[in-house]
Amino acid sequence: MASAWIALDDDGLNALSPGSSVTIATDCAQLILLWTQFVDVPFSPKLLRLPNHLLWLSIRHLLNDRNLRVKLIKVPTHSDDALNAQADALAQAAHTFLQPTFSPMAFYHVPCLLTFNSLPIDLNIRHFLRHIGDARNFLSFCSLARFTALGPPALFDWAGIHHCLSQIKGFAPHNNGRPEFWIFWIKLLLDMLPTLTTLQQRKPHLYSPDWLCPQCNSAPEDINHLWTCPYILPELNPCMTHKKEIAKFWNDCITAFSSQKTLPDSFCDEFSALDCWNFNTPSASCLWLTRRLLPAHLTAFLKDYFLLSTIYKVISPLLNDFQLELYGEIWLCRNVLFHAWEESQGISASSKLKTKVALLPFPLLLPLIIKTLLWRQSLRIPGFLEYPLL
C-alpha cells in the first residue's frame, strides 16, 4: 500500500510527462494483484466496495488524465537490489509514523468523496455505516445506568467486554450447543438474572419484599449474593464453589499467559496481587470479573507484557470456562432449589401470569432440599442444561 501512495506523490506518477510509459519493479506481489484488480479493468461500481478504493481510483484517474502507461514487474524479495532496499526502508519508516504529515485529501482525484470528521471514507460505505452504528450501540450499552451505577466508566475495560460480546455468534444450538449458557452470561452481564431481588421488584404481589435468600435466609438474594451465599450444605455452598472456580480461573490465566512467552519471576506475584483475584472478601472487582465486566486494572497490568489482542484471545475462552462452571455448579443448582421453594410458596408458572395470588405461609425448606438433592443425584451437570431455568 505504501508503494501505491508513493505512486501518487510528487516524485511518483505526478512527475511523469503526459503520454509517458514507465516500468515499475516491485517485490510486492499484492501490489501487482491489486493493480490488476483496480487499474487494468473497466470501472465498475463494485470497486467502491473495496478497501482503499479512493487511493486506487485516484491512480486510475491520474493514468487516464495524463495518458500514462505503467507496467509492473515482479522482482525477487531481499535480492540486495539497492533501489529495492531503499523502497523497503521508506515503507518501514512510513509504517512507524503515528499520523501522516499531510492530508490524504490532497492526493485524491475522484468524482465523489465522502468524508467523516473531515477524513475520507476509503472503505465499503455500507461496512463503514455499520461500524458507526455498532460503535453508537456499544456506547449506549456502556452508558447503561446499571453499569454507571457501579462507578466511573474507566473502571472497566470496555474494549475487552466488547471483544467478549463479539464472540457470541448466535444463540442457535448448532452454533455452540449451549444456547442456555449464552443467555445466562448475557443476563449475568446485564444483571437481568431472575434473582429473588429482581423478582421482588418485578412482581411484588408474588414475592414479598421481606423475603431473604431462600437458601440461607441471611441476606437479600441479588446478583452478587449468588456467589457469596453461605448455604449450609458444603456440596451446594455457592460461596465455596465460587472461590474454588475463581482460583482455578486465576491459575489457568497464569498457565496460559506463561505459555505465551518467558515472563519475569515477578509476574506471577504481581498478577496474583491484583484486586480482581481477591475472592475471599470478595472484592468488588472480583464480582465484576465474575460478571465478565473486565476490570481495567487487569488489562492495564497485562498490557505491560502482551498485546491487547493476545490478552483478549487468552482470557476470553478462560472466562467462558469459568462462567460455564458457575452456570452448572451454582446457577442451575440454585434454580432447582429455588423452583422447589417457589412451589412451596404456591408460586407456580400459571400463578406468575396472574396479577395477584393468595400467598401461602413460608414453609420449612429442609424436606424440599432433601427431595431436590435426591433428584439432583439422577441428573449430572451438564445434563442439567436441558432444564428450562432461565
Assess 196 for contact with Zn ion (CB under 5 A). no
Exactly one of 183, 216, 256, 365 binds Zn ion (CB under 5 A); that residue is 216
Phi, psi (deg, nearest 5) at residue 12: -100, -130
Which DSSP string corresponds to 201-241? HH-TTTS-TT---TTTSSS---TTHHHH---SSGGG-HHHH
- Burial pattern 271-293, b for ≥16 Cβ within 10 A else e, equals beebbbbebeebbbbbbbbbbbb
Q: Which is nearer to Zn ion, 109 or 243 (CB)?
A: 243
Output the nine-digit C-alpha cell for 176. Answer: 455452540
Min CB(333)–Zn ion separation in Å:
12
Query: In the bound complex, what is the minimum distance in angstroms from residue 337's beta carbon to Zn ion?
Result: 10
User: The C-alpha cell of 39 is what?
Assistant: 487499474
Site for Zn ion, residues 50 to 109, rule: CB under 5 A: none
Single out the segment in contact with Zn ion by CB under 5 A; choices: 4-12, 76-84, 210-218, 258-266.
210-218
> Do 356 and 205 touch, CB atoms closer than 8 A?
yes
In terms of CB distance, is 294 or 337 closer to Zn ion? Answer: 337
| Spatial distance between the Cα atoms of 108 and 62, rounded to a whole number of angstroms | 10
- CB of 112 or CB of 232, closer to Zn ion: 232
Out of 31, 72, 229, 298, the only residue in the binding site for Zn ion (CB under 5 A) is 229
- Using CB under 5 A as the binding rule, the residues of this chain from 298 to 357 that contact Zn ion are none
Nearer to Zn ion, 189 or 239 (CB): 239
Q: Which of 58, 215, 320, 345 is in the footprint of Zn ion by CB under 5 A?
A: 215
What does the buried/exposed string (b/e) look like for 14-47 if buried means 16 or more CB atoms within 10 Å of the residue's CB?
A: eebeeeeeeebebbbeebbebbeebbeeeeeeee
Beta carbon nearer to Zn ion, 61 or 376: 376
End-to-end CA distance of the chain: 51
Q: Using the 8-state DSSP alphabet, how is residue 107 labeled?
A: G
Taking the complex as a whole, the smallest distance from the CB of residue 215 to Zn ion amounts, in Å, to 4
- Residue 233 beta carbon to Zn ion: minimum distance, rounded to whole angstroms: 12
CB of 232 to Zn ion, least distance (A): 10
Q: How far is the CB of 316 from Zn ion (least distance, A)?
A: 30
Give CB contacts under 8 A, 24+ apart, made by 5-12. 5/55, 5/94, 5/107, 6/87, 6/90, 7/59, 8/55, 8/58, 8/59, 8/62, 8/107, 9/107
Site residue total, Zn ion (CB under 5 A): 4
- Which one of 40-48, 223-231, 297-305, 311-319 is the stretch in contact with Zn ion (CB under 5 A)? 223-231
Nearer to Zn ion, 221 or 325 (CB): 221
Q: Which helix (H) or strand (E) holds 73?
A: strand 69-74
C-alpha cell belonging to residue 364: 420449612
The window from 26-34, 73-81, 207-215, 242-250 that contacts Zn ion (CB under 5 A) reads: 207-215
DSSP state of 155: G
Residue 138 beta carbon to Zn ion: minimum distance, rounded to whole angstroms = 34
213 or 318: whose CB is closer to Zn ion? 213
Name the residue nearer to Zn ion (CB basis): 222 or 252: 222
Is residue 213 a contact point for Zn ion (CB under 5 A)? yes
- The residues that touch Zn ion, with contacts defined as CB under 5 A, are 213, 215-216, 229
